[in-house]
Chains A and B, each alone.
Chain A
Amino acid sequence: METIMLQLQNIKKSFGNTTVLKEINLDVKEGEFITFLGSSGCGKTTTLRIIAGLENPDSGVVLLEGKDVTNEEPHKRNVNTVFQNYALFPHMNVEQNIGYGLKIKKVEKSQIKKQVQEALELVQLSGYEKRMPSELSGGQKQRVAIARAIVNRPKVLLLDEPLGALDLQLRRQMQVELKRIQKKVGITFIYITHDQEEAINMSDRIVVMRDGVFEQIGTPNEIYNKPVNSFVATFVGSANILKGIVKECENDYVKVSINTEEIIVKTDKKVSVGDNVTMAVRSENIELYGERKENCLEAIITEKSFAGGMMHMILKLTDDTEVVVSRHGMNMEFEEQQKVYISWKPDGCVLVD
């Protein structure tokens, strides 16, 4: 049975008049890689700081291995943080930085040396012991910061946008590496990012946050394919949001009318005729046709662009709703300003709240 490592129960936090966290609840399993995904100011960093003990919640409880640590000072918690700006001690070299936590705990000198070596090997920085932080590149500083936290074998490792300051290529590389490190040490990782790709690539579970609320907690697959609401659907993988009215229901299949046209959608949600519904459709799930067929919506291509190996087309429906359609490779079949018909398979979209 999996054990629960960390629990957040009804955590609330305000700074002055602004409420940052509105009653959040979360259970994190041992060894899990969990990501808080949200745009800046959504409260993800505050949540992390509360777990680390650098901030106290206004109400609610933080449980670490079932023990209430809500009011425990940060140095007494078996939790370590990798800070966004690395926060390496500028007056200590790499070895001293990494060994800091162990030295504080009065671990024997030879033991510190050994563990620092192991940590450096883990982040592939062996031989950098005597370097000062000012002599390291951004990526290397990042590795030292990770090593400095991991060497203490914390129960939970908190990472606050650790790759935010790195360039794209290095970020991809570090993502793979972080995942490797996490698997190797088996420590519970709580990771913060605003980058949905990063979240999907690395996490066991993702927590989508907005305005101090957890919008959805689930595996990357659930978040991507079964978003609970239009916010999650658009924030993760930028889905198209379409509104319509339920015309007919039959088992799991629902016929929804959008403007004057109709389209069939499969859902396990309970809906009845006359309901207003919101659909989230991924741009890659939309089919394009040159002529009208059944189960289609009329649209005009307003813009075409090629990016990241994908052809992106922006379409306008008859009521001016914008829809983005993506295709792999170059697609020359349709031109700008051309009238087209779009459709998707019944399970190619989800009904969201």
Chain B
Amino acid sequence: MENFKKRKKSKLWLTIAPLYIFTLIFVGGPLIYMVALSFMSRAEVWGIVADVTVENYTKILEPIYIETFVQSFKLAFSTTILITLIGYPFGYFMAKLSPQWKKRMMILIMIPFWTSALIRLYGWIIILQSNGVLDKLLMGLHITDGPLKLLYTYTAVLIGMVYSLLPFMILSVYSSAEKLDWSLIEAARDLGATRWKTFLTVTLKLTLPGLLSGVILTFVPSMGLFFIADILGGNKIVLVGSLIQDQMTKGRNWPFAAALSVVLMIMTSLMIYLYRKITHTKDLEGIL
């Protein structure tokens, strides 16, 4: 019996081995390479030289880069808060729809994914630009007197971020709310709780895993989505993501880009860790 169990265990290991190997090569490898790279120095003109240094990290402490990090975090926070405010009720009420309407809503959410994110963002330029679709609409309805000139502002980047990342929140809240046993809500009402109290003590608590994974799915990418800031923010908004991209390409400073990435990664991991510590969640909907 003992023998049999052992054999079974080794077989099990074999079946999941490819997964470990894959992760090691395609996740672990690049990660190690990136960390190593961050301690190298840039070459005079092209490439890197293996001079071990911490200069790349000390450079981040310069006010301009600190400011970039602060701005990125601010944007990520506002994006996540806005997405939560819109996405949570959206996902929750979607789960309450009839099966037929659920399907229709799902298709509406999925359709944008069939088009490149870049093309959709260029669509936003047409909407947001001075005297663009939005301005004309608002002026036509006499809500505003002149053009809002939203394009290439912080607001435009925020709109772009919320637009791009909202589906992730909706879908993860939806998947959580879908599994919700509605008789629990009736039970809470029956035991004397008002609608609001029921929401706080039962509904919210039970859909928290979905909400939390939605927050992480929106917060983490919003730190790095450089192309939204580039397209809708002009060059006025510099985020860590865009900084890394610039250092990687135009700046030709790979080690510094790697150091920035490592710091960003550590900070986001720290955020997630703190977040989970505060909210006491062990199982997040599908991720982590």
A interface with B by C-beta (< 8 Å): 52-54, 73-75, 79-81, 83, 85, 87-91, 100-101, 104-105, 148-149, 152
Contact = CB atoms under 8 A, between A and B. Distances in A.
B44 interface: no
Interface of B: 181, 183-184, 186-194, 197, 201-202, 205-206
B183 A85 contact: yes
B191 A52 contact: no
A212 to B, nearest CB: 22
Contacts of B181: 85, 87
B196 to A, nearest CB: 11
A33 to B, nearest CB: 20
A74 B189 contact: yes
Nearest to A91: B205
B206 A80 contact: no
B183 A87 contact: yes
B192 A152 contact: yes
Given A83-B183, A83-B186, A85-B183, A90 B191 contact: no
Contacts of B201: 100, 104
Contacts of B183: 83, 85, 87
B121 to A, nearest CB: 40
Nearest to B191: A101
A104 B206 contact: no
Nearest to B184: A87
15 contacts: A54-B189, A74-B190, A75-B190, A75-B191, A75-B192, A81-B186, A81-B187, A85-B183, A87-B187, A91-B206, A100-B188, A100-B191, A100-B193, A104-B197, A148-B191
Contact of B186 (A54, A73, A148): A54
A90 B188 CA distance: 12
Contact of A104 (B184, B186, B192): B192
**Chain B interface, >50% SS class:** helix
The 8 A-B pairs with the shortest beta carbon distances in the complex, nearest first, are A101-B191, A87-B187, A87-B183, A74-B189, A104-B192, A81-B190, A75-B192, A104-B193
Contacts of A101: 191-192
B193 A52 contact: no
Contact of B190 (A52, A91, A105): A52
B193 A75 contact: yes
B199 to A, nearest CB: 13
Contacts of B184: 87, 89-90
B206 A54 contact: no
Nearest to B182: A87
A73 B186 CA distance: 11
B186 to A, nearest CB: 5
A6 to B, nearest CB: 16
A83 B187 contact: yes
Contacts of A74: 186, 189-190
B205 A104 contact: no
Contacts of B206: 90-91
A27 B270 CA distance: 63
Contacts of A52: 190
Contacts of A53: 190
B68 to A, nearest CB: 40
Contact of A54 (B190, B191, B192, B197): B190
A307 B188 CA distance: 44
Contacts of A73: 189, 194
Contacts of B189: 54, 73-75
Nearest to B198: A75
Contacts of B192: 75, 101, 104-105, 152
B87 to A, nearest CB: 22
Given A89-B202, A90-B206, A80 B191 contact: yes
A79 B189 CA distance: 11
A264 to B, nearest CB: 54
A137 B197 CA distance: 29
B162 to A, nearest CB: 30
